[in-house]
Structure 1
Amino acid sequence: MAKMQAVTITTPITGEVIPLNQVDDPVFSTGMMGLGFGVQPTSGQVLAPVSGTVTMIAATKHALGFTTPDNHLEVLVHLGIDTVALGGAPFTLNVEAGDTVQAGDVVATMDLDAIKASNKQTTVVLAVTNATDKLAHLDVTPGKATAGQTVAKGRLNAATFNAKRQGRLKPVDHYDELATAIVENVGGVENINSLIHCITRLRFYLKDESLANDDVIADLKGVIDVAKAGGQYQVVIGAAVTDVYDAVVKLIGPEYTNDAATAKVVADTNAAAQQPTTFGGKIKHGFSSLIGVITGSMIPVIGLLAASGILKGILALLTTYKLVSATASTYVIINAMSDSVFYFLPIFVGFTAAKKLGADPVIMGIVGGVLTYPSLVSIAASGKTISTFMGMSINASFFGLPVHLASYTYSIFPMIAGAWLASKLEPWLKRVIPTVLRMIFLPLFEVVIVSGVILLFLGPIITVLSTGLANLIVTVYNLSPAISGLLIGGFYQVLVIFGLHWAVIPIVANDIATTGHSYLNAIVSATMVAQGGAVLAIALKSKLANIQELAWPATISAFAGVTEPAMYGINLKYGRAFITASIGAAVGGFLTGLMHVNMWGFTGSLIGFTSFVNPKGMDFSFTGFWIASIATIVVSFTLTWLFGFKDEDAQTVKRAPKKRHLGAA
């Protein structure tokens, strides 16, 4: 009888066996997936940890499930952390679902170097996913172990042991009852738009999330938790997700499924950090969350921004050397190619920010279209002033109310704020608008309210703040060019993040229009060079392919005068790099002001070197530009190399479990 109760499990891979609570993924480390252990592998060959049937293989090859024939234990082997995003590339499988294997059979290989190069962790996790129902305990022996070596021993619990001895142990679990309960509590079939799944979760797209009974679903036997992210209603199941998915599909019909999306879906819901209790901690947490939303919203378009920035640099060179006239149709066409992603940036950011914050992406894309609508852009750019208020020009009216319409092209912060508002507004609208009217009136009210808030309130507030800052900048510059260069250089890119830099642009334009040059623009140019110097250090220092893939084009783009890819894609995302870049910019700005470097054009950064040539004859501004730029690069590059970034910043993303917001496996 003791033998019938015994359970032994071997390590599926050679390496360092670690307790489950040391695995860097809360779904596993907290035991939600069952008892087990982790392995830090030193070899890529994967063996079957138990004898039995291969019952599950993930579409992306990063996870395999086994069921033992005698005890019916369900054993999950998960290859790496968050490796679902790699699409199966680093994995080679030797088995298929339905195959029978013996413990020690080679079932797969994993390319450890490729996984590391993709900025993912190689940790292999083994979990007995039905341990709660089957096992009394499972003891793990940590330390170095060779693949196939027994590292975990346990015993069946009394119920399983007795059922096995009496020959009534069920060969499989049935999920029809669970599927019925889930469908009923997400609001019924009529509330489901579509359904996909990943390795641990059912991912519903619901018509109205407010109809779902979160607490009831979370308490169902077989459900680990409920999470909401990216417009999805996620029911966390665990390794049995494919069985539950099949049962749900059998219940609601295949027309609600999307196999392509299921194959590509990645686990993108990170655990929320533990809420801080101190005031300072709350401020820091709030700012960190804001930066996370900003960078997360920008990442999907960073590649486009980098490409467009490089194209802008090429166009600047073509016009500088008189190869293309600024009035020629060739210039217009190339400029449209390079400028469209910036001009319509509110549309793209509205879409991505909505996905990040859980609002409707299409509706927020339309709001972005409102802000970039040609007629409104024309009013903002016309320079027309009906009256003034707090130093702000009133250039329009709305039902008789004076309004300041600002330009929102190239801007991101108003759309992120709008997406946050929409994420709060949508659930309320869904509750108060009858279902039969929701398809028309929900987008109607949301577009009107969110657009109105941005145009009538948020935009003017940003304009007042930026105008005040611009006046302060001019005052400080008149007192001391060097001190103003230090301050402007250090903080200008911070203003860019929040859209507060727009009032500086008219000052630069007015300076060039009236005097033909701008000392202020020369300082702004140094901040672009600094972002490029910092991201160049990261491009050279990092050994991670995904970091290099973004850092190199971001470097070129920044030196071509477009800093968004460097700032949002790398420097701001990893925090310290943005600080070291800002210190470099402060140095560059200080030297620019100290040497009274002047600028006779709009194009800045290294690509704009000809803007520092005095049309009346070469003077010290050209030399000063190079001195300040080289010093800026040296400082930002060196500080970033030494203190601003290391690959562990990208490799280690700490997670903490929190109810309703689990990190996805």
Structure 2
Amino acid sequence: MAKMQAVTIATPVNGEVIPLKAVKDPVFSAGMMGLGFGVQPSDGKIVAPVSGKVTMVAETKHALGFATPDNNLEVLVHLGIDTVELKGKPFDLKVGVGDEVQTGDVIATMDLAAIKAANKQQTVILAVTNSSDKLESLDVHDGTATAGTEVATGRLNANTFNAKRKGKLPKEGKYDQLATDIIKNVGGVENISSLIHCITRLRFYLKDESKANDDVVANLKGVIDVAKAGGQYQVIIGPAVTDVYDAVIKQIGPELSNDAETAKAVAETTAAANRPTTTWGKIKWALSSLIGVITGSMIPVIGLLAASGILKGVLALLTTFKLVSTTDTTYVIINAMGDSVFYFLPIFVGFTAGKKLGADPVIMGIIGGVLTYPALVTMASGKAIGSVLGMSINATFFGLPVHMASYTYSIFPMIAGAWLASKLEPWLKRVIPTVLRMIFVPLFEVIIVSGVIILFLGPIITMISTGLANAIVWIYNLSPSISGLIIGGFYQVLVIFGLHWAVVPIVANDIASTGHSYLNAIISATMVAQGGAVMAIALKSKLANIKELAWPATISAFSGVTEPAMYGINLKYGRAFVTASIGAAVGGFLTGLMRVNMWGFTGSLIGFTSFVNPKGMDFSFWGFWIASIVTVIVSFTLTWMFGFKDEDVNAVKTAPKKRHLGETA
């Protein structure tokens, strides 16, 4: 095997050579600009670190680029940190683009005193910007060194070495001139606030867009067109955008880049580019996006939900075996520990959904607080003063009749509210003067979003869920087994959108009036099914992070709390929710067929005593176990075979997370 050729790089200035990670600039120190080193200069004479051609000179003179002729290394010399803001005043350049230099030739001087007086770092940074393509490694010799002496040794990677040996090295630096022309015609470095890119466009934030010469930029060779949107000056490049972006950043300085916003823009525009065009494809895309938002908003609190579910299961056992009475203060305290995360869920979901959808998370948390405010919760459960379209009217707002719904335990209204806030907030910031934004943006946002949820969204959800509840009762009366099949298969879908709450009063009324509920027994089977599916994933997956979430979610589901299993695993990875729902349909069918009855509220496996008839044990108890065991077997087996594989985790990680409607690549 041929020995890889070594390359050498000299220090560009007298001083103390330091590792790149010690440089006080996160872009360079993290290696984002490539391998290299820093130098704390002892004087201001700058020399060429390599022999080759000058390929780039920054307009503000703070950076120079070189390309070596024998192996096409791209070497950047950056004079100081954040010195782009000094607009070239401390620098005197001796070379220009196209000049040939030899290692040690004087190429510039820098006024160290002026840089210090401007409160900027004097560190000279050298980076091989194409090192990821060219170098296997770069060994740097720290310590005091004289300008022009070798301080770093690297090895060409196999691809570059072999290409060089065959005389087929690709041309490098081909976008430097285009970058220079773009910078000049958007108004120069001094007119650029920052730069990001997406999958096809450079996105400049300019201080004054009127200084940009649109016609010249649009007609540059390598530029497709110019667009202006969202406060950005967008230069459409096409597939080569990352190369052009790198060339521009080399000239304007990494301090004007924003990696987080670039990653966000790439994700959004990738989603836009991949959006399907067929009707069925659009429906699938919309559903997938909705599920992504729901699960993404829930993930930060899944661990709490699982822990609370387990605690609620323990409390159910304590009360079942008469160790604690529901009237004891011990019960009240433990119940508060287990129930608080569910009771105040709108606050947590508001915060996480706000972060997910681009709304202010603190404001969304406050809106969640409005919905769980004790007086409003009391109002929701208060006496009705009338009814409209089957909805009870229990409040008035400026004299208008209002149905006040209960939002504790709810998820979907807050996600819808966060989406509305993400659209409302930018508009408010545009129309409200800067000096008033701190007070009036949150004021109007809380009023408008809370009002929309309370006055419109809540009543709409209640009306739909009431209609569904009436349909469920009608189906059950028609045929217990068919209703068990339908309710079992779709009940957890209702849970996702908060439409199941109209079913809960039916169950409560059944138990209060007759002492039992056939419907609640079917609902119990859906909990068991979610637990069986997530248990299959816990056993099948070899990923530690999945197992760590799946096992607590399994225990929680079998304790009657399905949210961790559903939002944390099953719904997130799609097919597992379907296989769990099939298992629930089978369990519901058997529960209805065997006329399994239930005398308590607590369901799933933890609630087995709820299936004991107070008048004496009957077949309901054994029917519960038969239906539950079959449900676990079906949901477990289908999930193991068809519902999940570890590759699904990577697929979800790399899938686009969010996209604004109307955005193009």
Q: Calculate the TM-score normalised by the size of structure 2.
A: 0.68
The C-alpha deviation readout for 1:245-268, integer Å capped at 9, x for no partner, is 76449xxxxxxx9x9x99xx9998
1:511 and 1:48 map into 2 onto residues whose CA distance is 80
Is 1:102 the counterpart of 2:113 in the alignment? no
Give the match for residue 34 of structure 2: 65
In 2, are the aligned partners of 1:186 and 1:212 still within 8 Å (CA)? no
Give the match for residue 565 of structure 1: 564
1:493-508 → structure 2 map (5 Å cutoff):
493-508=492-507
1:351 and 1:608 map into 2 onto residues whose CA distance is 33
In 2, are the aligned partners of 1:595 and 1:624 still within 8 Å (CA)? yes
SS in 2 for 1:327: coil
1:400 and 1:649 map into 2 onto residues whose CA distance is 53
Give the match for residue 204 of structure 1: none
2:423 and 2:523 map into 1 onto residues whose CA distance is 37
Name the amino acid aligned to 1:386. I
Q: Which runs of 5+ in 2 are unaligned?
A: 10-18, 37-66, 75-128, 143-150, 178-186, 196-203, 209-227
SS in 1 for 2:233: helix
CA separation of 1:158 and 1:575: change in aligned 2, threshold 3 A? closer
In 1, are the aligned partners of 2:191 and 2:207 still within 8 Å (CA)? no
Is 1:277 the counterpart of 2:277 in the alignment? yes
The offset of 1:597, in angstroms, is: 0.8
Give the match for residue 303 of structure 1: 303
2:460 and 2:523 map into 1 onto residues whose CA distance is 23
1:179 and 1:218 map into 2 onto residues whose CA distance is 21
1:405-416 → structure 2 map (5 Å cutoff):
405-416=404-415
Give the match for residue 294 of structure 2: 294
2:307 and 2:656 map into 1 onto residues whose CA distance is 36
The C-alpha deviation readout for 1:408-467, integer Å capped at 9, x for no partner, is 111110111111111111121122112222111111111111111110111101000000
Give the match for residue 132 of structure 2: 77
2:655 and 2:539 map into 1 onto residues whose CA distance is 28
Give the match for residue 88 of structure 2: none
Give the match for residue 352 of structure 1: 352
Name the amino acid aligned to 2:593. L
Give the match for residue 231 of structure 2: 213
CA separation of 1:147 and 1:441: change in aligned 2, threshold 3 A? same
Give the match for residue 549 of structure 2: 550
1:523 and 1:366 map into 2 onto residues whose CA distance is 37
Instruction: Tell which deviates more after alignment, 67-76 or 591-600.
Output: 67-76
1:367-386 → structure 2 map (5 Å cutoff):
367-382=367-382, 384-386=383-385
In 2, are the aligned partners of 1:103 and 1:148 still within 8 Å (CA)? no
SS in 1 for 2:132: strand
The offset of 1:473, in angstroms, is: 0.5
The offset of 1:590, in angstroms, is: 0.5
In 1, are the aligned partners of 2:267 and 2:656 still within 8 Å (CA)? no
Name the amino acid aligned to 2:153. V
How many residue pairs get matched? 513
Give the match for residue 597 of structure 2: 598
1:572-583 → structure 2 map (5 Å cutoff):
572-583=571-582
1:225-624 → structure 2 map (5 Å cutoff):
247-248=255-256, 271-272=270-271, 274-382=274-382, 384-624=383-623
The offset of 1:275, in angstroms, is: 2.1
SS in 2 for 1:562: coil
SS in 1 for 2:35: strand
In 2, are the aligned partners of 1:76 and 1:239 still within 8 Å (CA)? no
The offset of 1:398, in angstroms, is: 0.5
1:554 and 1:607 map into 2 onto residues whose CA distance is 14
Name the amino acid aligned to 2:192. A
The offset of 1:510, in angstroms, is: 0.9
CA separation of 1:75 and 1:338: change in aligned 2, threshold 3 A? same
In 2, are the aligned partners of 1:271 and 1:657 still within 8 Å (CA)? no
Name the amino acid aligned to 2:353. A
The offset of 1:161, in angstroms, is: 14
CA separation of 1:608 and 1:240: change in aligned 2, threshold 3 A? farther
1:353 and 1:391 map into 2 onto residues whose CA distance is 31
1:403 and 1:658 map into 2 onto residues whose CA distance is 34
Instruction: Tell which deviates more after alignment, 313-322 or 266-275.
Output: 266-275
CA separation of 1:331 and 1:224: change in aligned 2, threshold 3 A? same
The C-alpha deviation readout for 1:547-580, integer Å capped at 9, x for no partner, is 1111111111111111111111111111111000
1:162 and 1:543 map into 2 onto residues whose CA distance is 47
2:639 and 2:566 map into 1 onto residues whose CA distance is 13
2:470 and 2:247 map into 1 onto residues whose CA distance is 60
The C-alpha deviation readout for 1:205-242, integer Å capped at 9, x for no partner, is xxxxx99631247789x9859xxxxxxxxxx9559979
SS in 1 for 2:34: strand
1:494 and 1:460 map into 2 onto residues whose CA distance is 19
1:340 and 1:472 map into 2 onto residues whose CA distance is 32
1:195-214 → structure 2 map (5 Å cutoff):
213-214=231-232
In 2, are the aligned partners of 1:519 and 1:599 still within 8 Å (CA)? yes
SS in 1 for 2:501: coil
CA separation of 1:659 and 1:498: change in aligned 2, threshold 3 A? closer
CA separation of 1:269 and 1:590: change in aligned 2, threshold 3 A? same
SS in 2 for 1:547: helix
Name the amino acid aligned to 1:77. S
In 2, are the aligned partners of 1:597 and 1:625 still within 8 Å (CA)? yes
2:618 and 2:277 map into 1 onto residues whose CA distance is 57
In 2, are the aligned partners of 1:539 and 1:551 still within 8 Å (CA)? yes
In 2, are the aligned partners of 1:218 and 1:224 still within 8 Å (CA)? no
CA separation of 1:212 and 1:389: change in aligned 2, threshold 3 A? closer
The offset of 1:97, in angstroms, is: 11
2:169 and 2:470 map into 1 onto residues whose CA distance is 75
2:176 and 2:534 map into 1 onto residues whose CA distance is 63
**Which protein is bigger by CA-based radius of gyration?**
2
1:641 and 1:592 map into 2 onto residues whose CA distance is 24
The C-alpha deviation readout for 1:363-396, integer Å capped at 9, x for no partner, is 11111111111100011122x1110111110110
2:560 and 2:163 map into 1 onto residues whose CA distance is 57
1:322 and 1:628 map into 2 onto residues whose CA distance is 27
Structure 1 vs Structure 2: percent identity of aligned residues? Answer: 67
CA separation of 1:641 and 1:157: change in aligned 2, threshold 3 A? closer
Give the match for residue 146 of structure 2: none
2:426 and 2:292 map into 1 onto residues whose CA distance is 23
Is 1:625 the counterpart of 2:624 in the alignment? yes
1:393 and 1:657 map into 2 onto residues whose CA distance is 39
Name the amino acid aligned to 1:565. P
2:20 and 2:252 map into 1 onto residues whose CA distance is 13
Instruction: Tell which deviates more after alignment, 48-57 or 502-511.
Output: 48-57
1:75 and 1:318 map into 2 onto residues whose CA distance is 65
Instruction: Tell which deviates more after alignment, 609-618 or 527-536.
Output: 609-618
In 2, are the aligned partners of 1:309 and 1:558 still within 8 Å (CA)? yes
In 2, are the aligned partners of 1:271 and 1:655 still within 8 Å (CA)? no
CA separation of 1:217 and 1:317: change in aligned 2, threshold 3 A? farther
CA separation of 1:640 and 1:655: change in aligned 2, threshold 3 A? closer
The C-alpha deviation readout for 1:272-319, integer Å capped at 9, x for no partner, is 152222222211111111111111111111111111111111111122
The offset of 1:151, in angstroms, is: 6.6
2:154 and 2:279 map into 1 onto residues whose CA distance is 57
The offset of 1:150, in angstroms, is: 3.9
Name the amino acid aligned to 2:349. V
